[in-house]
């Protein structure tokens, strides 16, 4: 890294971390309506941070939902323009009792910043802001043009962003879209993600009698919605872990021997991982490795299940309702709307008697893929080698950033995912944290990336 940049970043590191802590302190939970004022506060805070970094045309742009924060620096004529996407919203923090320190009172312990949103996505997003600041406050210019487009609805599947992108396509026009919003392959193993799983999320609501009934007087006499739910959900999956919904695997590619060999190369130690997660073993779809199951195979996961009495003691009732929140991760050519249709057909066919079933699709996102050979991906590989001192590996991610596919489609530009998080940083879980040495390495990588992008040309 340029020595000017390096000394600037060292000198200002404490202030940068103090700012980041301020950012993580804002409980910007997009899923919860009661946090709406915090969402606005986070957007305004971020807009100020962009202005302080030297970005121009900074605005908090309203959408149908939470606003988007925009800012740009466009003084590199003839050079490529990078659109940096990220999000200032965070996941809900529950179960609160499992946090060692409160989720919105960020603290640094052992070189890690703990707090909800630390790795997903506030610290990763902030590496971009501080990279711009370092360039403009030292060299006075950036090697490329940059635009920031930071949304507040990523954790609720970006309902407003597609329309926003369509409407603002001119303003957002770019040659590359750069996103830092996920984990690298492993500690000390920087990686470039060239594939993401899609998402089909839905809610299943089962209605029995008009109210809860005494399980002594009615038990056995009428259908129990919780039992109906259990039967319906059990019917969706075979004992071998295959999803038992007709047509579910249509559009899923067979893994080639070359791909499987690459997966074996990257494989982590199953026993070690099981121990870390405190589970007896890693299990799932028969015939596939952990890495294959979590990145290259589709899934159907129960995210939440509920019905009847959950309090202290026992309440002997036949519950009147039961339900589940479910999400499918999709790969290759699976389409979320088509998958939803197939699930609806399955439910229709397997609906237990005596209850009514309602299905509502809540989330949809297509899978994404970019060739690892793309010049902007190769530029990122060089930048990582500089920032982390190590050649990155090429991976697919099991997560879904549906908006990645939308960006690539609506703006017609390649999406480069440059992740600085780590697995085990508890994204979406209690005690979320971010390794701060990757804050420094991330900025170093980005400093180099803008240079490489300039060299790659438009």
Q: For the segment 435-454, give every residue that binds its own copies (CB under 8 A).
A: none
Closer residue to its own copies in complex, CB, 143/190: 190
Q: Does 310 bind its own copies (CB under 8 A)?
A: yes
Closer residue to its own copies in complex, CB, 53/322: 322
Count of residues in contact with its own copies, rule CB under 8 A: 100
Closer residue to its own copies in complex, CB, 49/339: 339
Closer residue to its own copies in complex, CB, 131/426: 426
Q: Does 229 bind its own copies (CB under 8 A)?
A: yes
Positions in 373-402 near its own copies (CB under 8 A): 397-400
Q: Does 318 bind its own copies (CB under 8 A)?
A: yes
- Select the span of 4-12, 56-64, 109-117, 428-436 touching its own copies (CB under 8 A): 428-436
Written as one string, the DSSP assignment of 196-217 is E-EEEEEEEEEE-SSS-EETTT
Out of 10, 15, 31, 52, which residue is the one contacting its own copies (CB under 8 A)? 31
Cβ of residue 136: shortest distance to its own copies, in angstroms?
35
Q: Does 97 bind its own copies (CB under 8 A)?
A: no
**Beta partners for residue 369, in sequence order:** 195
Please, are residues 248 and 342 in contact by the beta-carbon 8 Å criterion? yes
Q: Closest Cα partner for 31 from 452, 393, 362?
A: 362
Q: Does 360 bind its own copies (CB under 8 A)?
A: no
Q: Does 199 bind its own copies (CB under 8 A)?
A: yes
Q: Does 230 bind its own copies (CB under 8 A)?
A: yes
What CA–CA distance (Å, rounded) separates 245 from 299? 11
103-138 burial, b if ≥16 CB within 10 A, otherwise e?
A: bbebeeeeebbbbbbbbbbbbbbbbbbbbbbbbbeb
Per-residue binder mask for its own copies (CB under 8 A), 110-139, x = binder:
------------------------------
Positions in 250-309 near its own copies (CB under 8 A): 277-285, 290-291, 293-294, 297-299, 301-309
3-state SS class at 364: strand
3-state SS class at 361: strand
Closer residue to its own copies in complex, CB, 162/424: 424
Q: Does 211 bind its own copies (CB under 8 A)?
A: yes
- Select the span of 55-63, 105-113, 137-145, 219-227 touching its own copies (CB under 8 A): 219-227
Tokens of 328: 């499918």
Please, are residues 92 and 32 in contact by the beta-carbon 8 Å criterion? yes
Q: Closest Cα partner for 229 from 202, 206, 203?
A: 206
183-222 burial, b if ≥16 CB within 10 A, otherwise e?
A: bbbeeebbbbbbbbbbbbbbbbbbebbeebbebeeeeeee
Out of 223, 244, 255, 262, which residue is the one contacting its own copies (CB under 8 A)? 223
- Select the span of 15-23, 143-151, 313-321, 409-417 touching its own copies (CB under 8 A): 313-321
Out of 245, 427, 444, 453, which residue is the one contacting its own copies (CB under 8 A)? 427
Cβ of residue 445: shortest distance to its own copies, in angstroms?
21
- The DSSP code for 1 is -
3-state SS class at 382: helix
Closer residue to its own copies in complex, CB, 78/313: 313
Cβ of residue 255: shortest distance to its own copies, in angstroms?
14
Q: Does 431 bind its own copies (CB under 8 A)?
A: yes
Out of 28, 81, 91, 451, which residue is the one contacting its own copies (CB under 8 A)? 91
Q: Does 180 bind its own copies (CB under 8 A)?
A: no
Q: Does 332 bind its own copies (CB under 8 A)?
A: no
What CA–CA distance (Å, rounded) separates 72 from 433? 29
Please, are residues 28 and 35 in contact by the beta-carbon 8 Å criterion? yes
Determine the length of the chain.
Answer: 458
- The DSSP code for 119 is I
- The DSSP code for 325 is E
């Amino acid at each position: 890294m340029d020595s000017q940049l390096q000394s600037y970043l060292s000198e200002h590191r404490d202030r940068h971390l103090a700012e980041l802590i301020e950012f993580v302190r804002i409980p910007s939970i997009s899923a919860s309506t009661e946090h709406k004022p915090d969402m606005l506060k986070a957007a305004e805070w971020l807009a100020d941070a962009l202005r302080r970094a030297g970005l121009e045309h900074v605005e908090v742009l309203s959408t149908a939902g939470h606003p988007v924060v925009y800012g740009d620096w466009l003084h590199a004529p003839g050079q490529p323009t990078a659109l940096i996407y990220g999000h200032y919203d965070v996941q809900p923090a529950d179960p609160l009792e499992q946090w060692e320190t409160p989720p919105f009172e960020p603290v640094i312990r052992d070189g890690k910043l703990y707090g909800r949103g630390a790795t997903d996505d506030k610290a990763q997003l902030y590496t971009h802001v501080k990279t711009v600041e370092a360039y403009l406050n030292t060299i006075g210019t950036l090697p490329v043009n940059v635009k920031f487009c930071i949304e507040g609805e990523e954790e609720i599947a970006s309902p407003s962003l597609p329309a926003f992108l369509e409407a603002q396509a001119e303003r957002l026009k770019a040659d590359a879209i750069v996103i830092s919003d996920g984990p690298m392959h492993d500690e000390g193993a920087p990686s470039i993600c060239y594939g993401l799983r899609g998402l089909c999320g839905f809610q299943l609501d089962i209605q029995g009698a008009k109210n809860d009934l005494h399980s002594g007087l009615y038990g056995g006499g009428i259908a129990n919605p919780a039992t109906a739910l259990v039967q319906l959900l059990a019917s969706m999956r075979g004992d071998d872990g295959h999803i038992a919904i007709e047509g579910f695997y249509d559009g899923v590619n067979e893994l080639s021997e070359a791909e499987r060999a690459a997966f074996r190369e990257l494989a982590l130690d199953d026993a070690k991982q099981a121990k870390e997660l405190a589970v007896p073993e890693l299990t799932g779809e028969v015939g596939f490795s952990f890495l294959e199951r979590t990145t290259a195979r589709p899934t159907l996961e129960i995210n939440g299940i509920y019905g009847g009495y959950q309090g202290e003691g026992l309440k002997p009732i036949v519950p009147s309702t039961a339900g589940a929140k479910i999400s499918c991760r999709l790969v290759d050519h699976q389409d979320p709307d088509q998958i939803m249709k197939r699930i609806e057909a399955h439910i229709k066919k397997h609906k237990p008697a005596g209850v009514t079933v309602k299905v509502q699709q809540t989330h949809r996102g297509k899978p994404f893929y970019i060739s690892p050979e793309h010049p902007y991906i190769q530029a990122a590989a060089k930048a990582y080698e500089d920032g982390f001192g190590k050649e990155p590996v090429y991976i697919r991610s099991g997560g879904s950033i549906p908006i990645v596919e939308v960006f690539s489609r609506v703006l017609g530009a390649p999406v480069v995912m440059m992740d600085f998080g780590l697995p085990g940083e508890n994204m979406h879980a209690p005690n979320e944290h971010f390794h701060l040495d990757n804050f420094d390495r991330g900025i170093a990588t980005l400093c180099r990336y803008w240079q490489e992008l300039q060299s790659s040309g438009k």
